[in-house]
Chain A
Amino acid sequence: MPDTADILRLESMQVHFPIQGGLFDRVLGRPAGAVRAVDGIDLNIGRGEIVALVGESGSGKTTVGRVITKLAQPTGGRLLFEGEDMTSVRGSSALRPYRHRVQMIFQDAYQALNPRHTVFDVVAEPLRSLRLVDNASQLADRVSEALAAAGLNPPGDFFARFPHELSGGQRQRVVIAGALAVRPELIVADEPVSMLDVSIRAQILQVLVDLRDKHNMALLFITHDLPLAWSIADRIAVLYLGKLVEIGSADEITFNPRHPYTVALRNATPQIGGNADRGKLPALQGEVPSAARVPRGCRFHPRCPLAFDRCREEEPPAIEVGPQHLSACWRSEC
């Protein structure tokens, strides 16, 4: 596939947050460390593609989303949107065209909505601030369109409502409608259904899949839930401590995971009818180390049941283990 097919590319993307040492450390000249939240990620998203970014808390998945939506500034690497380098573009006016095309959906609809704004205001806001409409009737049309696309029907009934008058599922739909209103080409959705009841989740996922099918919109779906990722995504990328450990088609990652971390994640996921593959590898002990103290060698080696000497010394590169399937593990080589 030529690069032009990708709507977005991350090349060696890196976000390090400096740790402010205390006065004592500075006087003694101790080196200040850094939290390596995102530590060299290569990821591409095709037009109309749904990519799921899966990881535990602290893996850096939200930071990746914030880099893509230009809410966080990378400390290294490049962000390419349709081949154009957006890495160092800053400032609200310079970013306006970009914000028009890339939108974000946040996890917590309770916090994302201003309690004093009506649904109409919330959805109209990006249209107004990005100056995408000329008059009031155009604005109303675009707001209606977005609310309908997010599954709030009939849209007119919701215009004058405040967030507290809506159910949790409706609130999340308003957040989605706000992102859709500008007709973006890429949406970054950060755990968009994790706060919702199970019965509502499927409705929201359906809305997101419809957007791709009807408008060829690309989606980066950030989640900690592997089965959920499998149900919505074309490809799944697994993140551990700021680095992608495995990436491949949703089916490959789910049914044929190659990296021991992906396997552990799958085995730990509770499943109806039991998890048939459990027991092939021992359950993981311990917890994710701090991103301020990334282990040397393979960053997963202290918890890896298959680690050997090389893993403690050398960081494994992404190794091709199948078509479009990469795994960063020395064990994948053989």
Chain B
Amino acid sequence: MTNSSQDNVPLLEVDRLSVDYGLKGVSSRAIDRVSFALRAGEAVGLVGESGSGKTTTAMAIASLLSPNARVNEGEVRYRGKRLPIDDDAAMRPHRWSETSVVFQGAMNALNPVHRILKQIAEPCMLKLGMSRGEATARARELLELVGIPADRGSAYPHELSGGMRQRVMIAMALACRPSIVIGDEPTTALDVITQAQILKLLGELRSRLNLALILITHDLSVVAEACDRVMIMYAGRIVEDGTVADIFAQPKHPYTRLLIDSIPNPASGKRIIRPIPGDPPNLMNRPSGCAFHPRCPSAMAVCVTEVPSFDECGQGRVACHLHRSSQEDKVAVHA
């Protein structure tokens, strides 16, 4: 990271990370030189459409990439030390103990034939070397932590509602006291009221345990509720990064602005929502220059030919030629 204004080393640094997927001999780039830093206790939203690379970014950090994925360049550092994210065995001590993941479909992620207490106790035994008794006690403690009475631990996953199952997933993710929790669309399958309960729980746990949270979602309004900072991804690149307050009040990238405008928001009074023209890009056939240019209402000639650099802009960063030129203009005026 070039802009590390903090004196202390960030908890996590992702530095020019690129990941390719191989498919039938052809490889396509899922994420392209993604860079960002995460501080302890910080909640960052990673927002993008399907195929934007948000899940690939997060899975790379957790070293849970699928077998046909290849880290092409870049690295991930945890507390200043490089993580061997492409070496499954070497990552084992880190995974779940330092970085854990809450997956989307809790029903699919839980084992249907084991009682939930046993499933939560398992990582404690495997990772922390606890005895069965200790692990069970820890699992009961974890259940209470996520708002499930410990006596419910004898239930099987199918006996629990969607919200309860997601709480169990969170309890499992916290089992080994990680400092980073990645939530991969953790509330997408849930009803609105249950979603609000889970987001509230994540917020409480975050401040209580000083957790850093990476929340992957396609829903900007969830990020607005649960995060301090948001990074917008498009076609494998981060196009904008800033505080939640800045991004929603003054989005800089045209894609961010259109994304915000396409969400119905009664508070804005604007009932007619403006569609973003066109379709998301095909990664096998990425548009030249700025990948958003075919859909961008402000596209210029330079956008077609040149990939915009990801520059600091105000408090945040943005990858857009519009903002680079305006910066240069400002420089020119001042000179």
Give A contacts to B, CB under 8 Å. Answer: 56-57, 167-170, 197-203, 205-206, 224-228, 230-231, 254-255, 264-265, 267-276, 283-284, 287-288
Give the 10 A-B CB pairs with smallest separation, nearest first.
A231-B264, A202-B275, A268-B196, A199-B276, A197-B49, A56-B191, A270-B225, A227-B264, A270-B221, A203-B275
Q: Report whether A283 and B280 are in contact in the complex, using a CB–CB cutoff of 8 Å.
A: no
Closest B residue to A261 by CB, please name it.
Answer: B193
Give the contact-size bracket for chain B: 35 or more
Given A56-B191, A197-B218, A283-B200, A230 and B271 contact (CB-CB distance below 8 Å): yes
Q: Report whether B259 and A198 are in contact in the complex, using a CB–CB cutoff of 8 Å.
A: yes
Q: List 22 A-B contacts (CB under 8 A).
A: A167-B280, A168-B50, A199-B280, A200-B275, A202-B262, A202-B275, A205-B273, A230-B266, A254-B266, A264-B193, A268-B195, A269-B221, A270-B219, A270-B226, A271-B221, A271-B224, A272-B221, A272-B248, A273-B267, A274-B224, A275-B267, A287-B161
Given A268-B193, A283-B200, A199 and B262 contact (CB-CB distance below 8 Å): yes
Decide yes or no whether B130 CB sits under 8 A from chain A: no
B285 vs chain A, min Cβ distance (A):
13
Decide yes or no whether B197 CB sits under 8 A from chain A: yes
Given A168-B50, A206-B275, A270 and B222 contact (CB-CB distance below 8 Å): yes
> How far is it, in angstroms, between the C-alpha of A203 and the C-alpha of B194 when the chains are bound?
28
Given A198-B49, A227-B265, A287-B161, A270 and B279 contact (CB-CB distance below 8 Å): no
A181 vs chain B, min Cβ distance (A):
23
Q: Which residues of B contact A200 (CB under 8 A)?
A: 275-276, 279-280
Closest B residue to A168 by CB, please name it.
Answer: B50
Closest A residue to B262 by CB, please name it.
Answer: A202
Decide yes or no whether B163 CB sits under 8 A from chain A: yes
Decide yes or no whether B220 CB sits under 8 A from chain A: yes
B170 vs chain A, min Cβ distance (A):
16
Q: Report whether A56 and B192 are in contact in the complex, using a CB–CB cutoff of 8 Å.
A: yes
Q: Which residues of B contact A202 (CB under 8 A)?
A: 262, 273-276
Given A231-B271, A287-B161, A270 and B195 contact (CB-CB distance below 8 Å): yes
Q: Which residues of B contact A199 (CB under 8 A)?
A: 49, 258-259, 262, 275-276, 280
Q: Which residues of B contact A272 (CB under 8 A)?
A: 220-221, 224, 248, 260, 263, 265, 267
A138 vs chain B, min Cβ distance (A):
31
Q: Which residues of B contact A228 (CB under 8 A)?
A: 264
> How far is it, in angstroms, between the C-alpha of A205 and the C-alpha of B264 when the chains are bound?
11
Decide yes or no whether B304 CB sits under 8 A from chain A: no
Q: Which residues of B contact A270 (CB under 8 A)?
A: 195-196, 199, 219, 221-222, 224-226
Q: Report whether A273 and B279 are in contact in the complex, using a CB–CB cutoff of 8 Å.
A: no
> How far is it, in angstroms, between the C-alpha of A217 and the C-alpha of B1 when the chains are bound?
55
Q: Which residues of A contact B49 (CB under 8 A)?
A: 197-199
Per the 8 Å Cβ criterion, residues 4-51 of B in contact with A are: 49-50
Q: Which residues of A contact B259 (CB under 8 A)?
A: 198-199
